[in-house]
Structure 1
Amino acid sequence: MNFLKRFCRNRGAVFGLVILLAVVAFALLAPTLYPQSPWRPVGRPFLAPFVMERFPLGTDTLGRNLAAGLVHGARVSLMIGVVSTLVALLIGVPLGAAAGYAGGFVDALVRFTEFFQTIPSFALAIVLVAILQPALGSIVIAIGVVSWPPVARLVRGEVLSLKTREYVQAAVTIGQSTPRIIFSQVLPNTIAPIIVMGSLMIGSAILLESSLSFLGLGDPNLMSWGYMVGAGRTRLLDAWWISFFPGFAIFLTVLALNLAGEGLNDALNPRLARGRE
């Protein structure tokens, strides 16, 4: 209950959560709202929004329903954002924990990832997708690979501060194994910052996927918001709605994730929230 009270105290976080739940609901209901394929032309091309009830957001260059593309694209963008973030966490959390607690080669490997900060993650993702061929799996792998180093560095820093605590030293004294100490004593106390970072990473992953799809490196068999923005970029003057609505959906979803992440940070770290007040 205290967690919910602290979270709800942040009005921006509540607004972000409501928007996020609405986006998730539309994504889940996409097959019910628009059972036909979003790739299928269903009307006259370049039909303006709010003119016909059947096409509330208008149609694109090929006569496809933009509303159908928007809700089906939400499924793709959210799925890629969540799955690629899970991949990054599955790589970064164990490596960061091992680097912070045991040091040695793993610590050197994690610290070496600071070198990759000189390479923009978007450029590296483009290279990986181009090598692996544009597909859903390659996009998830590429985003996960470019996203795990910050996770590893965060967990490493948290573990370095936790491994000197009394309860960890007591576990060492009674002879618990290193893996057991890490998973039972150390990692549970790093959950809060990992959850907050994960919520922010989903938004970053959605932006990365949208940028890749905008450049034509998305899965050609899946409708996504980035593809829709890219499909209308040459007709911004006379058919602005083709790019505007999916672009606004990306903006709103990423904003909601960041607001919700800030609320999670306040709820999970009440001392930091009181400090800002």
Structure 2
Amino acid sequence: MNAEFWRAFARNKGAVVGLVFLVAVVALAALADFAFPGSPWDMATAPFQPPLSDDAPLGSDTLGRDIAAGIAHGARVSLLIGLTSTLVAVLIGVLLGAVAGFYGGRVDDAVMRFTELFQTIPNFVLAVVLVAIFTPSITSIVLAIAIVSWPPLARLARAEFMSLRTREFVQAAVTTGQSNATIILRQILPNSLSPIIVSASLMVATAILLESSLSFLGLGDPNMMSWGYMVGAARTVIRQAWWMSFFPGVAILLTVLALNLVGEGLNDAMNPKMARRGRA
């Protein structure tokens, strides 16, 4: 990433604000053990303490657990699941899309029919079914989110590879006798990464929302504190203790918004011509 990239990114003020907030969330997750030592499941004060209490700055829940500690430790889970599931989805989607776009023909038809099979079922419904089948855990949630997220990336990678495989530099690589794997990995893939990176950055936000929704329904990892679990646990007492669901909900909202803003900034910086055309 050169200076020109950062100048283009910085011209999008919303993206800069989103990046600053994301850095703050990452720092909160990294420093959670220092700011809130102990387990977020431990009782810290009396139940239903309102915000600005001495022992609970953001209030406490039905069992006296500190809401602020839960948000800090829950940031780890939300970011971990969002990033890991997106990485797995990118690996699956780019691999299948690259094979389909490069070889075409029957290989392309087979991969696209396989992709459409996953797209016939709504993402959230499929994620719920998968997590319920494999028992709620960090691993099953990551795999479920990755499985429902890779098809759009596969289609994107396929389109990029189909566009680039006829370019002169690819034909030159074929003429020099380079293998298909070398052409895919060293010639075409580096030139198709820009839209994939932008799409992946937006997918992290979707993954965090999916994890929060699963945890809200009680399908989160029972041993891990997460923002979605906190919102779900507070739904029965929302009138009595509004802060229990409000602060975790705001954390989810702002993090997802920040990721979308950063995604727009990456698009402006990595695809400047398309960004200018969109604003025109």
Q: Decide: shared fold, TM above 0.5.
A: yes
Please state if 1:116 is matched with 2:108: no
Question: Which residue in the other structure is 2:13 paired with?
Answer: 11
CA apart distance, 1:177: 0.9
Please state if 1:243 is matched with 2:245: yes
> For the residues of structure 1 that align with 2:110 and 2:71, how far apart are their CA atoms?
41
Please give the secondary structure, in 2, of the residue aligned with 1:242.
helix
Letter in 2 for 1:155: A
Match of 2:49 among 44, 47, 50: 47
Task: Flag the 1:11–1:134 CA change in 2: closer, same or farther, 3 A.
Answer: same
8 Å contact kept, 2:15–2:265? yes
Please state if 1:194 is matched with 2:196: yes
State how many pairs are aligned: 276
8 Å contact kept, 2:44–2:55? no
8 Å contact kept, 1:38–1:65? yes
Question: Which residue in the other structure is 1:252 paired with?
Answer: 254
Please give the secondary structure, in 1, of the residue aligned with 2:98.
helix
8 Å contact kept, 2:41–2:65? yes
Letter in 2 for 1:74: A
> For the residues of structure 2 that align with 1:40 and 1:60, how far apart are their CA atoms?
11
Letter in 2 for 1:92: G
Mapping 1:95-174, distance limit 5 Å: 95-112=96-113, 113-174=115-176
Letter in 2 for 1:110: V
Question: Which residue in the other structure is 1:261 paired with?
Answer: 263
> For the residues of structure 1 that align with 2:177 and 2:159, how far apart are their CA atoms?
24
Structure-1-length-normalised TM-score: 0.97
Structure-2-length-normalised TM-score: 0.96
Please give the secondary structure, in 1, of the residue aligned with 2:240.
coil
Structure 2 unmatched runs, 5+: none
> For the residues of structure 1 that align with 2:199 and 2:265, how far apart are their CA atoms?
12
Mapping 1:78-89, distance limit 5 Å: 78-89=79-90
CA RMSD of aligned residues (A): 1.1
8 Å contact kept, 2:119–2:151? no
Letter in 1 for 2:69: A
Letter in 2 for 1:86: L
Please give the secondary structure, in 2, of the residue aligned with 1:258.
helix
CA apart distance, 1:114: 2.3
Letter in 2 for 1:132: F
> For the residues of structure 2 that align with 1:203 and 1:17, how far apart are their CA atoms?
13
Mapping 1:47-66, distance limit 5 Å: 47-50=49-52, 52-66=53-67
Q: How many percent of aligned residue pairs carry the same amino acid?
A: 65
8 Å contact kept, 1:110–1:149? no
> For the residues of structure 1 that align with 2:145 and 2:138, how far apart are their CA atoms?
11
Please give the secondary structure, in 2, of the residue aligned with 1:53.
coil
Task: Flag the 1:190–1:117 CA change in 2: closer, same or farther, 3 A.
Answer: same
CA apart distance, 1:93: 0.8
Please state if 1:273 is matched with 2:272: no
> For the residues of structure 2 that align with 1:149 and 1:107, how far apart are their CA atoms?
14
